[in-house]
Structure 1
């Protein structure tokens, strides 16, 4: 079977995928241990029997819904190739908005904490851009912490300390910036039965109180770990912007604003905390960057 024939065959079978050709190209390049550009440069090259069998097996799994990132074991985030597995969420492009937001708040000497780090995507992106910062990251899942450490090692990023912790349970010290992409999907949300999400760990997706319980807990406890005028920023669902701003306002955060993602949906809410009193803030205040 030629490369171009293999891609045509796979694209025909992956009718339920919105990115059938791209999925096929990534999986075939993975089997061949080549970049995807190789497929377009040498479409007439033949696959070996072993390569054909391996590719067909991956396509079958993809037809059954297994995410491409889990099949290849790699997902790029912030131009960093990250190892992924089914102990963590697959990093999403929209989460890069959280990285951009954090970078705008950080100085080269900032101390940063990432809660629920998963693959380490967020903190490793920040650490790669700010090599002189003190970066810390926690996750309650031991396998996720192990994976994040592996990613830091493979990327030669040395300014991050990873620790197993249920949110702030094992966190010490004070921070200038706290970031988190916590579980924020309601347990009855129909999206849990659709697409790649079906294969990702529910513990990293689902929260009670209409998806807001972990966000509320983080916002409440973060005050004890933020330096004066430190920033808290949390990724959330596209319909949760108002609710998250209300939570922040009720806890006396100020400079509250919600930032949209690449699809023009509410995605990140950021606020500043100070022990000094501030004027009351309207919980419906919204500033879009």
Structure 2
């Protein structure tokens, strides 16, 4: 069977199962099995595929039909131009999170100290550290398994001297004040998790999704810790659901009444990143 025939079969199986992006997924999975880029794959349509590789590919397609995410199947996901290792122990990086990172890079100078709270795969902490080599970056998480994956990514990108992993809740493991806090915390209301796409609901870690009854549980806890751990001239960047910005405003007013909350939109025009400041920039 040729690459073209195998792809056609995989696409049809995924389409029949109503997978959202059958063509892209089929191509990515076959490229992974054949250990080549999608560009090379699409240039070798008439190449014969061995029986062993055919069986491996069909197994991947079957798992995708069961809604196992492509990122978990191939073992990595691109974020800010770099491929990060991911497993079901960590949330799969999303493009909208790059908005948070881009804002962090816009507002920071050549050196300082930062924290990535709830680091997961470490994609935010590592990307920031690689783009800002003069900064020392802490990365915290309550999950030892997630920290294990983050550690593998730190090693892969040779960032061990720039990113330090800390096991614990939110800012609790950080023993000094920092100039920047970045956080993509759980913000899905508990009652809405069952309505998420099967790809997310059945496979991604609920501890990285479940934000409590109103989606604000972890965020409120972070706000309580923030004044003691963020420098007076520091900034906190939070990714959250667009529907939660008003609730965030109320929570900030309760905990830090003199702080500003700025809103940044994602590529779809939806409010996605909150910027918290205890001072007015000049």
Is TM (by shorter chain) over 0.5?
yes
The corresponding residue for 2:66 is 64
1:188 is paired with a residue whose SS is helix
**Deviation at 1:253?**
4.8
**Deviation at 1:192?**
4.5
**Deviation at 1:204?**
0.7
Given candidates 263, 268, 275, the residue that maps to 2:268 is 263
User: Is the counterpart of residue 229 in structure 1 residue 227 in structure 2?
Assistant: no
2:267 is paired with a residue whose SS is coil
The corresponding residue for 1:285 is none
Report the TM-score, using the length of structure 1 for normalisation: 0.92
Given candidates 159, 163, 176, the residue that maps to 2:162 is 159
| Structure 1 segments unaligned to the other structure (5+ residues) | 279-289
Report the TM-score, using the length of structure 2 for normalisation: 0.94
Distance, in Å, in 1 between the alignment partners of 2:118 and 2:258 is: 22
Paired residues of 1:114 and 1:138 also in contact (CA < 8 A): yes
Given candidates 110, 116, 119, the residue that maps to 1:117 is 119
Paired residues of 1:240 and 1:266 also in contact (CA < 8 A): no
The corresponding residue for 1:85 is 87
Given candidates 145, 148, 154, the residue that maps to 2:147 is 145
The corresponding residue for 1:43 is 45
**Deviation at 1:191?**
5.8
1:12 is paired with a residue whose SS is helix
Paired residues of 2:193 and 2:210 also in contact (CA < 8 A): no
The corresponding residue for 2:108 is 106
The corresponding residue for 2:259 is 254
2:181 is paired with a residue whose SS is strand
**Deviation at 1:17?**
1.9
| Structure 2 segments unaligned to the other structure (5+ residues) | none
Distance, in Å, in 1 between the alignment partners of 2:193 and 2:7 is: 32
Pair 97,191 (structure 1): closer, same or farther in 2 beyond 3 Å: farther
**Deviation at 1:47?**
0.8
The corresponding residue for 1:287 is none
1:115-148, Cα deviation, whole Å (9 max, x unpaired) = 0000001111111100111111010000111110
Paired residues of 1:73 and 1:84 also in contact (CA < 8 A): yes
Distance, in Å, in 1 between the alignment partners of 2:130 and 2:19 is: 33
Paired residues of 2:191 and 2:213 also in contact (CA < 8 A): no
Distance, in Å, in 2 between the alignment partners of 1:72 and 1:253 is: 47
Given candidates 207, 217, 231, the residue that maps to 2:221 is 217
2:89 is paired with a residue whose SS is coil
Which 4+ runs in 1 deviate beyond 6 A? none
Distance, in Å, in 2 between the alignment partners of 1:18 and 1:172 is: 45
**Deviation at 1:261?**
1.1
**Deviation at 1:103?**
1.0
**Deviation at 1:238?**
2.0
User: Is the counterpart of residue 20 in structure 1 residue 22 in structure 2?
Assistant: yes
**Deviation at 1:190?**
5.2
1:211 is paired with a residue whose SS is coil
Deviates more, 1:104-113 or 1:94-103: 104-113
Distance, in Å, in 2 between the alignment partners of 1:254 and 1:168 is: 19
Deviates more, 1:191-200 or 1:123-132: 191-200
